Amino acid sequence: MASAPDAMWRSGLPADQAEVPVRGPTDDELTALDELSGDGTWTVAGRKLKLTHLDKVLFPGTDTEPPVTKRDLIRYFARIAPLMLPYLTGRPVNAHRYPDGVNRPGFWHKEVPAHAPDWFTRWHNTEADPGETQCYAVLDSLPALVWMANFGGIELHPWTSRLPDVHEPTWALIDIDPGTATGFDDVLDLARLYRTALDHLDLAGMPKVTGRRGIQIWVPLGPGYTFDDTRTWVETLSRVVGRVLPDLVSWRWYKDERGGRARLDYTQNAINKTLVAPFSPRPAAGAPVSVPISWDELDDPGLRPDRWTVRTVLDRVRDHGDPLAPLIGKPQRLPQL
């Protein structure tokens, strides 16, 4: 992977603006979005974006949630941008696209298409082999998020390394991946063991419900680590956790060999391996969202992995904020295990 700073460009945007906090859309901008017909041009945060098929249903409804249209998704991405962009800015992003809605098969899309606007930030991977992705999206603005939503990019998966040092992760990732026989109570028991372990190690990390069935734990890192370092460290910690509740955990790679048990997956700690971004929607009815939670919320009897949706998560963050945000950029060292 390339590490040259000039591999990324912002089409004239000063480099020091990459970390400037992002504002959400104004009330007037949201009103203008609502007034568009099925297709139209929306001006938001100083950019004009051509939007299409705004009334297409992307997520079917549920017993408690109405269907979610592309217009609804675009509105959500625009409003969540101030909270979501700190996890995306400066990182290549792998997008899981569902342009025809989540009831149709989705597909991974990493290459920035030729029709992307000139202002859209790209990172050119000069180490890509033939057939590999050459040019990645770097979502660093509210308009970039809106463009991706219009492109059908429902799930966003940022790299755990930042540009230009793409071989140097800034997060160590713990993924509690439930099996077919794993209940959410089992997932919570495993997450609580990680809570105890990290507390014992005096190490900061924070859990996140996935919006599907599992829980992930994100541990921030200081500079100087490799993916071999983080993968080995997370594996060692996970083996200790797994020994406490061995009947819940399988280390088999293939799901059909796990007997329905959970996998404590450390293998995502590798370059271009990703987990879903905080506040990204998931491809399921009602548009559930992956949401950071506090450690104490593991003991909330009302917690579910898909508790919040694109329609409800903004109320949640208004009342509770983002527990993971204070850990972004924390220069933490991993203790010896």
Each residue's pLDDT tens digit in the chain (337 positions)? Answer: 333 333 433 333 333 334 446 789 999 999 999 999 999 999 999 999 999 999 999 999 999 889 999 999 999 999 999 999 999 999 999 999 999 999 999 999 999 999 999 999 999 999 889 889 999 999 999 999 999 999 999 999 999 999 999 999 999 999 999 999 999 999 999 999 999 999 999 999 999 999 999 999 999 999 999 999 999 999 999 999 999 999 999 998 888 888 999 999 999 999 999 999 999 999 999 999 999 999 999 999 999 999 999 999 999 999 999 999 999 999 999 999 8
Residues 20-41 as b or e (16 or more Cβ within 10 Å = b): eebebbeeebbebbeeeeeeee
Cα–Cα distance measured from residue 292 to residue 305, given in angstroms and rounded to the nearest whole number = 11
Coil, helix or strand for 202? coil
Cα–Cα distance measured from residue 142 to residue 103, given in angstroms and rounded to the nearest whole number = 27
Cα–Cα distance measured from residue 236 to residue 255, given in angstroms and rounded to the nearest whole number = 21
Whether the bond between 278 and the residue before it is cis, its omega within 30 degrees of 0, is no
Residue pair 219/174 in contact (Cβ under 8 Å)? The answer is yes
Cα–Cα distance measured from residue 117 to residue 10, given in angstroms and rounded to the nearest whole number = 11
Structural domain boundaries in the chain? 5-158, 171-327
End-to-end CA distance of the chain: 30
Question: Of 4, 231, 270, nearest to 127 (Cα)?
Answer: 4
Coil, helix or strand for 294? coil
Cα–Cα distance measured from residue 308 to residue 310, given in angstroms and rounded to the nearest whole number = 7
State which H helix or E strand residue 145 sits in.
helix 142-150
Q: How many other C-beta atoms lie within 10 A of the C-beta of residue 82? A: 15
Architecture of domain 171-327: 2-Layer Sandwich (3.30)
Global pTM reads 0.91
Q: Burial, 134: exposed, middle or buried (Cβ in 10 Å; 0-12, 13-18, 19+)?
A: middle
